[in-house]
Amino acid sequence: MTKRFFIWLLTGLCLTGIFFTQLFAATAAEPASDDLLRALRIDSPLSLCNEPVPLTDSQNRERFEKEMLVSLGNRYQVILWLKRTTRFFPTIERVLSENGLPGDLKYLAIAESALRVHAGSSKGAMGVWQLMPQTAQKYGLTVNGRVDERRSFCLSTPAAASYLKDLHSRFGSWSLALAAYNMGEEGLAAEILEQAVTDYYSLYLPLETQRFVFRILAIKCIVENPQQYGFFLEPDEFYPPRVFATVPFDALTELPLRLVAEASGTDFKTVKDLNPHIRGYYLTAGSHRLNIPPDGEAGFEKRLRDLAASDDRTRDRRLYRVQEGDSLSGIAKKFDVPLAALLIWNRIPINAVIHPGQRLVVLPFTLGKDWQTETAGGD
């Protein structure tokens, strides 16, 4: 009986400890209600892109306060916003200034993607600026199965700036331009025509678009005054900008990215991180401008040319001629390589149909004597 009692008591103490640990963690993570109420007390008029926001209207005030509370309720996400600003805002501010656009448009990038280059939507938008394929192509970006320049922050930011400038020219105010950016310009034009209203704050629009400008305004308030809302970051806690050199070169044939990584003295991941617009594992033949670590710039083109020539010379020794009855999984098993690697090396999907006589790359690097004998027999 005594033993059972002590087990029960110990279990109770453990559960109590877990409860209070979770309670204290939740208390630390969530701002107190008094703090939230103070955050909503705006003493001076607010503006966005140098346009006053009519918060004296009670409905507009409610729309703004909702976005403030939603944003402040996700404090973990706000911390990431703040940390990423030092990586992205200098470039955005420069491009906006060069195009004569208001600096507040940089907060649009947070509203759209939380400053994530690989952010995507179910509707097909992609990148920091969440551009749709047709819009991106209209403003000079390449979007296809091998390259998606919407993922390149450096390439997509000027395109987004040009798009915003055109939207403002068409609709005459930044609030309407931002609404059009969110819902589509033709859809907004139709609503303006039907409702006979040209003021964003008085238009009945899709609910997401009705919230959109207020969400950007809330982000502006928080990012410009983080300490006021309980975010205290030291200078060394912000993420630094990525440092790289941009190198132009021509690829005479399709080129594995692993060779680009080797030529630039880095790894595959770094090349992909610096060039998120390159999809897959290969560059297409043609002219390219890629970002690589600065230390790899000197002599890069010659090293890459030599590596590509060496890779091409060994290609025949890496080919396997498909035999009757072969399957992709069987070939992978035969040469003890992952099926996924076999698909990558040959740029084919898993459901690809292979035929006798077809040649497949089965190993990417230096090959041993046993392999050379195997391919010789297959020829």
Write out pLDDT tens, residues 249-285.
999 888 999 999 999 999 999 999 999 999 999 999 9
Where residue 374 falls among pLDDT bands split at 50, 70, 90? very low
Q: Tokens in use for 26?
A: 């939740």
Q: Are residues 179 and 81 in the same domain?
A: yes
pLDDT at site 375: 42
158 and 288: one domain? Answer: no
Q: Within this chain, do residues 219 and 258 fall inside the same structural domain, yes or no?
A: no
- Residue 110 pLDDT > 50, yes or no? yes
Structural tokens at position 137: 């192509």
Identify the H or E element spanning 321: strand 319-321
In terms of domains, do 296 and 323 share one? no
Q: Which of 287, 313, 339 is the last residue of a domain?
A: 313
Asked if the structure places residue 10 within a domain, the reply is no
Q: What is the mean pLDDT of the chain?
A: 88
CA 43, 47, 49: angle at the middle one, nearest 5?
160
pLDDT at position 171 over 60: yes
Lowest mean pLDDT, pick from 140-144, 191-195, 297-301, 343-347 = 343-347
pLDDT at 366 over 60: no
Kindly state the percentage of the chain with pLDDT values over 70: 87
**34-48, 83-97, 146-160: least confidently modelled range:** 34-48
Q: Which two tokens stand for residue 87?
A: 């990586």
Is 27 a member of any domain? Answer: no
Average pLDDT over residues 328-333: 90
- Round to whole Å and give the CA distance between 166 and 109: 17
Last residue within a domain, chosen from 313, 329, 359: 313
Structural domain containing residue 307: 245-313
- Considering the domain architecture, whether residues 66 and 86 belong to the same structural domain is answered as yes
Q: Residue 361: in which H helix or E strand, if any?
A: strand 359-361
Residue 160 amino acid letter: A
The phi, psi pair for 289, rounded to 5°, reads -130, 110
Are 249 and 127 found together in one domain?
no
Asked if 122 and 263 sit in the same domain, the reply is: no
Q: If pLDDT is split at 50, 70 and 90, which confidence band does 115 have?
A: very high
Does a structural domain hold residue 152?
yes
Q: What is the per-residue pLDDT for 24?
A: 44
Number of folded domains in the chain? 3
Q: What distance in Å separates the CA atoms of residue 171 and residue 178, rounded to the nearest whole number? A: 10
Phi, psi angle pair for 285, to nearest 5°: -65, 145
CATH of the domain at 232: 1.10.530.10
Domain end call among 313, 331, 356: 313
pTM for the complete prediction? Answer: 0.81
So what's the pLDDT on residue 6?
54
